[in-house]
């Protein structure tokens, strides 16, 4: 059976070597907007949060999920939690239902919504969990310099 667990930022160094492959598998789809050294630094300081998917029986890590809280300067203050990266070695249907634990945790920390930044394929995967498209991002690569 798969379970999810939040990892305190002080515990990131102890498991970093066991989660890099999962984070890297998600990074390949980010158009080079992140890197493993950046993620490690942000996770160690607590600027980003880390959840791991693991097998109950063996405690073998099977995936990782990175989250970021975003506070918007509205009255009253609006807080959302964004799932910025996911990667796993097991099929999503074995642990996606556990996303409710992450949502409850986000709500307990003041979030009024959970967002997912990712590829279009996430729309189909997350629709059964109640997620809908809110915005889209259009992207065009441009050259820099002269």
pLDDT band at 146 (very low <50, low <70, confident <90, very high): low
Domain membership flag for residue 29: yes
Number of domains in the chain: 1
Chain CA centroid to CA 34, Å: 13
Q: Does residue 106 form part of some domain?
A: yes
For the segment 53-64, what is each residue's pLDDT rounded down to a tens digit? Answer: 998 766 799 999
Q: How do residues 33-53 score in pLDDT, each as one tens digit?
A: 678 999 999 999 999 999 999
> CB of 114 within 8 A of CB of 106?
yes
d(CA 51, CA 65): 5
**145, pLDDT greater than 80:** no
Indicate whether 136 belongs to any domain: no
Any domain includes 121: yes
Tell me, yes or no, whether 135 lies in a domain: no
CATH number at residue 27: 3.40.630.30
Range of the domain at 64: 2-129
Average pLDDT over residues 101-108: 96
- Could you tell me the sign of the dihedral formed by the alpha carbons of 104, 121, 72, 51, in that order? positive
What does the CA dihedral 98, 17, 47, 99 come to, rounded to 10 degrees?
Answer: -10
Stated pTM of the model: 0.85
Q: Are 50 and 64 in contact (CB under 8 A)?
A: yes
pLDDT value at 136 more than 90 = no
Residue 89 within any structural domain of the chain: yes
| pLDDT tens digits for range 63-94 | 999 999 999 998 888 999 999 898 888 888 88
21 within some domain: yes
């Amino acid at each position: 059976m798969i379970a999810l667990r939040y990892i305190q930022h002080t515990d990131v160094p102890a498991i970093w070597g066991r989660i890099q492959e999962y984070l890297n598998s998600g990074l390949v789809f980010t158009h080079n907007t992140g890197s493993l050294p950046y993620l490690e630094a942000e996770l160690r300081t607590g600027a980003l949060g880390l959840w791991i998917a693991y097998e109950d029986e063996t405690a073998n890590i099977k995936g990782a999920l990175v989250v970021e809280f975003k506070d918007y300067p509205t009255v009253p203050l609006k807080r959302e939690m964004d799932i910025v990266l996911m990667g796993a070695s097991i099929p999503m249907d074995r642990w996606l239902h556990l996303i409710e634990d992450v949502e409850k945790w986000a709500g307990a920390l003041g979030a009024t919504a959970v967002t997912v930044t990712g590829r279009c394929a996430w729309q189909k995967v997350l629709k059964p969990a109640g997620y809908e498209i809110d915005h889209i991002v259009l992207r065009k690569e441009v050259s820099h310099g002269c």
